[in-house]
Amino acid sequence: MICPYCQHDQSRVLDTTHDTRGGVRRRRECESCHQRFSTYERPILATPLLIKKDGTREEFDREKLARGIRIACAKRPVSAADIERLVGEIEVALQRMGRAEVSVRVVGDMVVAGLKELDLIAYVRYAIVYLHLDDLQSIRKEIDRLLEN
């Protein structure tokens, strides 16, 4: 592994941990400059193409998904780790489907379900755009439905 500080190509592994998604985090030390850094390895699994409403297809973009969720969670008590966990769960669920193409609706439904568990305000923010709640009456109905549960 190349050191991010001095570009030396030899480092030694100090610690290794495994996460629930099959990834491996390694704490390393450069043999030249003795700086420490972490690397994260995760298996590359194929994610399906997403079929948008207009019929076009788009590659799954983990960062785009995370950005949308971060926007919904802005100024809310939702940790970055929770957002990353939700994004990871959605990515793994898509990979496990084993399909070549999936509707964006499937991804949106997963996000809505995940945000409903994380933070109801973030859920409402996301739902306003995702469910096309374009007037106050429809937003109020959704909030009333949440309050009933």
- Taking the chain (149 residues) in runs of 10, the rounded mean pLDDT of each run is 94 90 88 95 81 92 94 94 93 89 93 93 90 84 82
Residue pair 78/122 in contact (Cβ under 8 Å)? The answer is yes
pLDDT at 76: 94
Q: Where are the beta strands (DSSP E) in 81-143?
A: 101-103
pLDDT at 106: 94
Cα 124 to Cα 127: distance, rounded to the nearest angstrom = 5
pLDDT at 28: 96
Residue pair 24/38 in contact (Cβ under 8 Å)? The answer is no
Cα 26 to Cα 109: distance, rounded to the nearest angstrom = 34
Residue of 109, 114, 120 lying closest to 88 (CA atoms): 114
pLDDT at 21: 64
pLDDT at 36: 97
Q: What's the length of the chain?
A: 149
| Per-domain boundaries in the chain | 11-41, 49-148
Pairing of strands 49-51, 101-103: parallel
pLDDT at 74: 93
Give the H or E element holding residue 1. none
